[in-house]
Chain A
């Protein structure tokens, strides 16, 4: 748990907006280098970490979690020190007004997304509750001339949300999607004893899931794994949500049942967890999982995939919230799978 807490805090402090994952490389590699035989990267910004077992010609098990997060990009620098922006990935514009952001220009700049006071929007409820991204501006307090020296069109903007621990094992931060699963995967591999491993494990910390899910597919193309486990966050239920589209925070990792993931393997892993008395939750996502598995499963000649997830509340906001025990639970599930022969799944 200490590793998970430390890693979560470290990784959530890194700006890894889709397309800018490489900026987090050094601190990521420093964090996990003791646990792997090999660490590589590709030109797209994917990182691959390999830990081999003692068996010769062992099957390859890929464990994927994406490193990128949603955010924004500068589209124009305006009079009065305002920046117009565009979203990178699916942002919830309802929560953006009055959010704090960091603009990554030549130096880091603090900014606020300006909000129109209710007095002025009383007549237009629509505009107030559901703004378009083009109607939102980042207020930096600089003059246009000063700002132009530091910021260029195309610079990334990250929505601030510092890692904060709450009661009962809960924690909140911006970017827990999907750094929670990055931590889970590393925590699992960290604890794996080579003598018990049945696979060579390839951890892929992939790029640009939020903007097209293509990074993990490139990794899968290069690795050609026998099995790929895609880990991502899922919808943790909060007050007012229905039960059939969500999972519960604090009740353990979830396994997705979907037409896009491998049915035999998914069932096999559930049976394994039942045998070992490891608790898990099930969530059904009939067609799309909205995760890297959509492209990985059809990479090359096809790759058997399983999707596992950590329940997360308030997804794609600066206050994404989860229970750290669920990360630990996912880590335990991943370790158990890596210790089990492929034929027994």
Chain B
């Protein structure tokens, strides 16, 4: 599991530029799927055929980042955000461009929490000309990927949002036993910029049931949002986030399955933040949806924290849903 996570975490894929991470995932899952395809917007879709219910699992493979908007005479780079950047945490950290150019994020004014338009990337160029030889307007940057082990089964790094969800789906695809259900494991693009990838994927598949896998906030850390979810408390079964109210039959069914299979779970009501669940639910005629989340502290900061024990429970829950729902 840690080997897989490492592979996924250390490959960048900002929203709209998911080709590298898609290749990594594709290589990982090819032996286990009956069919593999990439749809026109770039979603990676793996199918395990069956004659029963059509179930679509979705984990987004993109991550937040920056794109270059302007290079000034001193060779300093102005950027715009791709997705919800936590600017409080991003100041003075390392970023890397899609072409492998390193730089540091500096706020143009250090008096208060900067807005994204006041962030500058310094790649150490001595002038505009040198900067332009390395970076073009429209290039993407991400915070440097990392993965470190802390106490016990806790890990810190980025982007756990949502490579950890991808890892859960990959493991579930590998472990799932034979079932009648027609299973689709979808690794979606552009979730961070408005749930854009999951919609066409759901339109194409037209599932009976949609299950998204993503991270969720925890309540016990400093400056946490209000939630009962705890890191290390097990995988969560989503009831609501700002994109969706999950179908309550699915929520009930998932709780039953968790109890039956002795899977450690928590109920989740996420106050802020949406997931692919919402996009899948209201595509075409709509479908029943639920979601499995992995509790994560400090989401969208440069150091997100997870507990590997929660990830393992999430894999078990995903398998139970795939086999028995």
- Contact at B227–A75, with CB atoms within 8 Å? yes
Give the shortest distance, in Å, between A314 (CB) and chain B (any CB): 25
Chain B 198-218 per-residue mask, 1 if CB under 8 angstroms from chain A, else 0? 000000000010000000000
A: number of interface residues (CB 8 Å): 30
Cα A43 to Cα B251 with chains together (Å): 14
Residue of A20, A134, A212 most packed against chain B (CB within 10 A): A212
For B267, give its contact among A22, A154, A214 (CB under 8 Å). A154
B-side interface size class: 20 to 34
Determine the chain B residues whose CB is within 8 A of the CB of A7 once the complex forms. Answer: none
- Contact at A19–B248, with CB atoms within 8 Å? yes
Cα A86 to Cα B285 with chains together (Å): 28
Which stretch (A122-130, A217-225, A256-264, A317-325) binds chain B? Answer: A217-225
- Contact at B282–A214, with CB atoms within 8 Å? yes
Determine the chain B residues whose CB is within 8 A of the CB of A75 once the complex forms. Answer: 226-228, 269, 271
Cα A76 to Cα B282 with chains together (Å): 28
Residue of B208, B251, B286 most packed against chain A (CB within 10 A): B286
**Cβ of A96 under 8 Å from chain B:** no
Assuming A19-B246, A74-B269, A211-B245, is B287 touching A44 (CB within 8 A)?
yes
**Cβ of B268 under 8 Å from chain A:** yes
Determine the chain B residues whose CB is within 8 A of the CB of A221 once the complex forms. Answer: 284-285
**Cβ of A292 under 8 Å from chain B:** no
Chain B 275-293 per-residue mask, 1 if CB under 8 angstroms from chain A, else 0? 0001001101111100000
- Contact at B286–A215, with CB atoms within 8 Å? yes
Give the shortest distance, in Å, between B46 (CB) and chain A (any CB): 24
Determine the chain B residues whose CB is within 8 A of the CB of A215 once the complex forms. Answer: 286
Chain A 208-247 per-residue mask, 1 if CB under 8 angstroms from chain B, else 0? 1001101101100110000000000000000000000000
**Cβ of B239 under 8 Å from chain A:** yes
**Cβ of B312 under 8 Å from chain A:** no
13 contacts between A and B (CB under 8 A): A45-B247, A73-B269, A75-B227, A76-B226, A77-B228, A86-B271, A134-B226, A152-B267, A154-B239, A208-B245, A211-B245, A215-B286, A218-B284
Chain A positions within 8 Å of B, measured between CB atoms, are 18-20, 22, 42-46, 73-77, 84, 86, 88, 134, 152-154, 208, 211-212, 214-215, 217-218, 221-222
